Structure 1
Amino acid sequence: MLRIFATNRHFLDTSRYILFAYMLINDTLQLLSSVILFLLVMCLVTFPTVYCVPLLLLSTSTFMNTTLILATMSLERYVAIIYPLQRPAAWCSDRIWIIILSIWFLSFIFPMIEYSIGERDPAVDILSTPVLCKPIYIKSSPIQAFFRAAVNILFFAVVSVVILFTYIKILLKTRKMRQDKVSASKAKHTVLLHGFQLLLCMLAFTLPITESIMVPHVSWPPEDIAFFNYFCFILIPRFLSPLIYGFRDRKLRDCFGKTFLSQTKPTQCKGQAAEQFTCFLSWFI
């Protein structure tokens, strides 16, 4: 998908596609960091805390970032339908990076606060004492657990309200519109899809519940249970979410077919912002 955005630059003249490409990059980073952490824990690899914290910070931030991206994409559809001729400057393709930077800031600031308020064990030297890189060893104080739960509830509650608000507004707008009902209907279904994506993200919070249920009823080793839950509730949602959204879009679906048939002809990019974003995508690939 990232290759399609890098080779078909006209997509990057539209805010909706820029946000989708940003979601792909974020989910790729989230999967990369979580897979590395999972393998390190499964192989019982220990190393100093100073190297563990950045991995946990990246994994936590990109996980929270996904929910904010879904809310932003729903708001983008709301703005496109409600204000088609008077779109705010921040939602234009050459200014959307301001919103993206704001999302990154919010996603990073809360995990950093969580790490900073934790109690430090004087017997553990963050530069030399090897530890197993799991959140329970790095974020073990009750105040951190309470802060993390409060932030997660706040994020998902806000995103749920935003998605519900945009869906109702677009639904009411659709009933009033006499022209371009097709676009409004597609926007309504898109917002519903974001709600489904949010539910997929929330599956990650069922890990402790499913593990406690499976342990007494399944004769699997703890490592197999952990892998099963990780595969079902972390990997699968991150895979399905962009795949469903990407194949649902007709333009992207056509590009998929052309790419797999090796018939894609890259087009020229329009605008300095799109050119810079395309260069970043090309480097990322």
Structure 2
Amino acid sequence: MQNLTELSGNVTSNNSLSVIIKVCVVIPFFCVFLGCIGVMLHIFASHRQFMDTSCYILFAYMLINDTLHLLATVLLFLFAMGGVKFALVYCIPLLFISTATFQNTPLILATMSLERYVAIFYPLQRPVAWRSDRIWIIILSLWLISCIFTIIDHSIKEKDPAVNILSTPVICNAKRVNSSQIQTLFKAATSILFFAVVAVIILFTYVRILLETRKLRQDTASVSKAMHTVLLHGFQLLLCMLAFTSPITETLIVLHSNWRPEDVAYFNYFCFILVPRFLSPVIYGFRDQSLRGYIRKHFCDALTK
């Protein structure tokens, strides 16, 4: 009996240590992400030329979208690590934000690629919707599309009569709350549709700009820059698609290791959700020459104070 008690105590201690390590890795990483995003958004707000350019407005929107997504997922992660249970009425908004912002990312990437296409092929007669003072219409449309699909996802959920949405405490996890078969199929179909359409748009814009580069004799630098930007959006889309590899990686890890399910879930979250969301805006932001100069100046001023 004493040996069983000691073994139980060791297992509990190991679980507690594992949770502490996971939290201590995620929280600093998230804080660094917020710091980088905060600096970029501060630069956008402080310099008028960025807010007068459609591509920078879309980039700022992507930063805000990714921040909301990571904020929601980190909160869900902390609640899961702490075993916190609360009513669905508080859980569903977090899941809604997490899902809507996740679906919004590929739409933003497609829009940014199309914006570069419009800037190259219609430099003087840009369509009204793509002008900096009207780009908010496209942004609102993107958010509306992602929200509609998320609302449908939650609406087709099979209701459990034993669960009261206002009072029954549950673990706020998408796999537990939205686990019906029809929801799984709907999510899979939606994700495939979104990423397939976006992939086609990015490929189309890249090929068209590549062909245009060969035709033009003047201003090839700006066309080449636009081509590289579209290629970067394709890389960002690839990073987003890594999130869909989690079922495969979970199966492979379980078959070839003795990892616990919660450790596998943490590995997938960190590698395929947290890291890509962190790298995507940082790579884009530091690649841009104008923005990179302001970022360097901001950090130099901060260090000299």
Fold conserved between structures, TM > 0.5: yes
Q: TM-score, normalised by structure 2?
A: 0.84
How much does 1:139 deviate? 1.3
How many Å separate the matches in 2 of 1:106 and 1:244? 27
Equivalent in the alignment of 2:78: 39
Q: Distance in 1 between matches of 2:94 and 2:48?
A: 32
Distance (whole Å) between structure 2 residues aligned to residue 3 and residue 218 of structure 1: 45
Which stretch shows the higher mean deviation, 72-81 or 39-48?
39-48
In the superposition, the TM-score normalised over structure 1's length comes to 0.90
| Structure 1 residue 2: Cα displacement | 1.3
Equivalent in 232, 255, 258 of residue 294 of structure 2:
255
Corresponding residue of 1:280? none
1:170-185 mapped onto 2 (5 Å cutoff): 170-185=209-224
Is 1:107 aligned with 2:146?
yes
What is the aligned counterpart of 1:6 among 45, 62, 66?
Answer: 45
Look up the equivalent residue of 1:209 and give its one-letter code.
I
Instruction: State the 1:218 CA deviation.
Output: 2.4
Letter aligned with residue 233 of structure 1: F
Corresponding residue of 1:210: 249
Structure 1 residues 107-132: Cα deviation after superposition (integer angstroms, max 9, x where no partner): 10001001111211111110011111
Q: Is the Cα contact below 8 Å between 1:42 and 1:223 reproduced in 2?
A: no
Residue 130 of structure 2 corresponds to 91
The aligned counterpart of 1:134 is: 173
- Output the CA distance in 2 between the equivalents of 1:39 and 1:217: 28
SS in 1 for 2:86: strand
Which secondary structure does the structure 2 equivalent of 1:262 belong to? Answer: helix
Deviations 1:160-189 (A, max 9, x none): 010011111111111111110000000001
Percent same amino acid among aligned pairs? 69
Task: Report the Cα distance in structure 1 between the residues aligned to 2:214 and 2:185, rounded to whole angstroms.
Answer: 44
Residue type of the alignment partner of 1:102: S
Task: Map Cα deviations across residues 6-59 of structure 1 (whole Å, 9 max, x no partner).
Answer: 222321000000000110000001010011111111221111111111100000
* Number of positions where the alignment pairs a residue of Structure 1 with one of Structure 2: 263
Q: How do 1:1-285 residues align onto structure 2 when only pairs under 5 Å count?
A: 1-262=40-301
In the TM superposition, residue 224 of structure 1 has moved relative to its aligned partner by 2.5
Q: Secondary structure at the match of 1:131?
A: strand
Task: Tell me the CA shift for residue 158 of structure 1.
Answer: 0.5
User: Residue 203 of structure 1 aligns to which amino acid in structure 2?
Assistant: L
Mapped partners of 2:263, 2:143: distance in 1 = 34
Task: Output the CA distance in 2 between the equivalents of 1:65 and 1:191.
Answer: 18
Distance in 2 (CA, whole Å) between partners of 1:9 and 1:83 is 23
Task: Give me the whole-angstrom Cα distance separating, in 2, the residues matched to 1:143 and 1:219.
Answer: 31
Distance 1:60 1:163 in 2: 22
> What is the Cα deviation at residue 137 of structure 1?
2.0
Distance in 2 between the 1:229 and 1:218 partners? Answer: 15
Superposed CA deviations along residues 209-243 of structure 1, whole A, max 9, x for unmatched, are: 11111123223333322222211111110011011
Q: If each structure's helix is expressed as a fraction of its own residues, which one has the higher value?
A: 2
Q: Secondary structure at the match of 2:125?
A: coil
Residues 51-87 of structure 1 show CA distances to partners (whole Å, capped at 9, x for unaligned) of 1111000000001111000000000000000111110
Match of 2:188, SS state, is helix
**Helix, strand or coil at the partner of 2:170:** strand
Q: Which moved more, 1:10-19 or 1:216-225?
A: 216-225
Q: CA RMSD in A?
A: 1.1
Residue ranges of structure 2 left out of the alignment (5+ in a row): 1-39
Gaps in structure 1 of 5+ consecutive residues: 264-285
Moved over 6 A (4+): none
Matched residue type, 1:213: L
Give the corresponding residue for 1:283. Answer: none
Larger deviation, residues 116-125 vs 61-70: 116-125
The answer on whether the counterparts of 1:74 and 1:163 sit within 8 Å (CA) in structure 2 is yes
Q: Secondary structure at the match of 1:109?
A: helix
